[in-house]
Amino acid sequence: MRTILQVTVLLVFFLLYQSFALSKQEENFNKLNKTQATALSAGDLVITVFNSDGNDGFAFMPLVDVDSGTVIKFTDEGWDIGTSDFTTATEGTLTWTATSDISQGTEIQVTNPTANPPTPSSGSMTRSGTWSLTSSGDQILVYQGDQSSPTFIYCINTRRLSGNAWNLSVSSSPSNNTNIPAGLDTLDNAFAPSNHVDNLQFICNSALNDTPGNIRALFLDESNYNTTNTTVNYTTMDEGGCSVTVPVELTFFSANIFQDNVVELNWNTATEVNNYGFSVERRQQAADGRPNVTPSGVEEWEAIGFVLGHGNSNSPKDYSFVDENVIVGKYYYRLKQIDFDGTFEYSHTVEISLTKSLLTNLVLKQNYPNPFNPSTVISYQLSETSSVELTIYDALGKEIKTLINEKQEAGSYSYNFNGKGLSSGTYIYKLQTDDLVETKKMLLMK
């Protein structure tokens, strides 16, 4: 008996250990994936404000979506390409951590970098060393990783000493000079004005408002920043008229015909920013071949559904919508893409023609809800004008009630049936036209 108890205890401990080990393995796996997801590349961030005469503050803007937990470092130390090392160990380093997901195009302001800790407008930040942006010329290098092996993302220098290549050798004032770190380029992800400036703030006098690559070019153009000898104002780039958001980019939009009077719409987006969703609109061509118009002459579009968007996304997204309310004729469809702020844009129009040969003469749909108590809706479609009779029977075939007995034109119809006064059980509804008869069952549960 004791042996069995000992074996049982050992088995329980073994299972607990296995569970703990698997849990730690999953935790480490998730940590690894998170680290990979928060790594930035050169050019994924730009400096938008550099303020050496005031509070030595600055502002930066990611050009990609940044995951919560992402760590980015900013230093005013210089870089020596000869030694592949920072020029001094006395300058300051600010370590910023995203405490939530940050959307591309969000300007983050650091107005008190000399405080400990600094308080950025978003995320958290710590400081080591002495942070000071010198008016005679200074730089900010942006990187991830350790100082011993940094991965550079962006750099800015307010004093270019040797043309487009910046200074090729470190001068006697290394804290105020820097080489361009390996992996960065003045034409892509590093900036220095041709003439020395104390402060700069990028403005938007350009219509570059579509892709991160084009926006990045904006921050390499000397015509797009203001300089001042006093403290610059920290304002968002949007207030200057610039948008670094990637619009909703629709890659395709199509319509296909399926059986039972069904049209399926499919579309795909490559990127999305602030996308609330898509209103699906339809217009039917009139019998004379001209588009239906309102009394004022405007084409008449009908909103037939809505599909939620993905908000912000840099990866392809697939969407679909099924339109079941169609009869013989020509149809036009378009998407009204709506942002969270209510602004919208229309897609191109797709058209599709449904002929009688593509449609069944009669479509009787399952009642909804089913089971029901006491009311339910019975819907059906006619592809052509016909005499119509809709009748309710009990499970034994006894006629309960005739709901419709009339001639109807082609179209979609719905009838609200009330089972008040009837017993719980299975009932049959039959739809008969000039050519066809269809029946379905429904369940009344009281």
User: Residue 174 and residue 186: Cα distance in Å, rounded?
Assistant: 20
Q: Where are the beta strands (DSSP E) in 195-301?
A: 199-202, 225-228, 249-258, 262-284
Sign of CA dihedral 94, 168, 149, 144: positive
Confidence at residue 174, expressed as pLDDT on a 0 to 100 scale: 41
Task: Report the candidate in 142, 156, 102, 155 with the shortest Cα–Cα distance to residue 124.
Answer: 102
Task: Copy the structure tokens of residue 99.
Answer: 């405490």
Instruction: Give the mean model confidence (pLDDT) for residues 163-170.
Output: 44
Which CATH number describes the domain made up of 249-357? 2.60.40.10
How far is CA 418 from each of CA 174, 415, 445, rounded to the nearest angstrom? 87, 10, 12
Domain ranges of the chain: 45-240, 249-357, 360-444
Look at residue 85 and tell me whether its pLDDT is greater than 70: yes
Confidence at residue 27, expressed as pLDDT on a 0 to 100 scale: 46
Interval 211-235: pLDDT, tens: 555 556 666 666 666 665 555 555 4
Interval 51-72: pLDDT, tens: 877 678 888 888 888 888 999 9
Confidence at residue 206, expressed as pLDDT on a 0 to 100 scale: 43
Question: CB neighbours of 381 closer than 8 A, spacing ≥ 6?
Answer: 261, 325, 327, 362, 363, 365, 411, 412, 413
Confidence at residue 166, expressed as pLDDT on a 0 to 100 scale: 54
Confidence at residue 407, expressed as pLDDT on a 0 to 100 scale: 93
Confidence class for position 34, pLDDT limits 50, 70, 90 = very low
Interval 306-360: pLDDT, tens: 999 988 887 889 999 999 867 777 889 999 999 887 888 888 898 888 766 555 5
Q: 317, 286 in Cβ contact below 8 A?
A: no
Task: Copy the structure tokens of residue 395.
Answer: 């499970």
Calculate the CA 189 to chain-centre distance: 25
Radius of gyration of the CA atoms of the chain, in A: 34
Look at residue 203 and tell me whether its pLDDT is greater than 70: no
Task: Copy the structure tokens of residue 247.
Answer: 């619009």
Higher-confidence residue: 316 or 135? 316
Look at residue 96 and tell me whether its pLDDT is greater than 70: yes
Confidence at residue 139, expressed as pLDDT on a 0 to 100 scale: 84
Amino acid at 324: E
Overall pTM > 0.85: no
Q: What are phi and psi of 239, to 5 degrees?
A: -70, -20
User: Residue 189 and residue 267: Cα distance in Å, rounded?
Assistant: 34
Look at residue 8 and tell me whether its pLDDT is greater than 80: no
Which CATH number is 360-444's, of 2.10.25.10, 2.60.40.1930, 3.90.1300.10, 1.10.10.10?
2.60.40.1930
**Most confident among 11-25, 318-332, 411-425 (mean pLDDT):** 411-425
Which one-letter DSSP state was computed for residue 181? Answer: P
User: Residue 21 and residue 57: Cα distance in Å, rounded?
Assistant: 46
Per-chain mean pLDDT for the chain = 76
Q: What are phi and psi of 375, to 5 degrees?
A: -115, 150
Interval 98-132: pLDDT, tens: 998 887 777 888 988 999 899 998 899 999 988 98
User: Residue 354 and residue 351: Cα distance in Å, rounded?
Assistant: 10
Look at residue 163 and tell me whether its pLDDT is greater than 70: no
Instruction: Tally Cβ neighbours within 10 Å of residue 422.
Output: 16
Which one-letter DSSP state was computed for residue 209? Answer: -
Confidence at residue 28, expressed as pLDDT on a 0 to 100 scale: 44
What secondary structure does DSSP assign to 285-343, as a single string? B-TTSSBPB-TTS-B--EEEEEEEEEEEESS-EEEEEEE----SEEEEEEEEEEETTS-
Instruction: Tally Cβ neighbours within 10 Å of residue 118.
Output: 21
- Examine domains 249-357 and 360-444 and report if their fold is the same: yes
Higher-confidence residue: 37 or 341? 341
Q: 49, 225 in Cβ contact below 8 A?
A: no
Look at residue 434 and tell me whether its pLDDT is greater than 90: no
Look at residue 39 and tell me whether its pLDDT is greater than 90: no
Higher-confidence residue: 320 or 294? 320
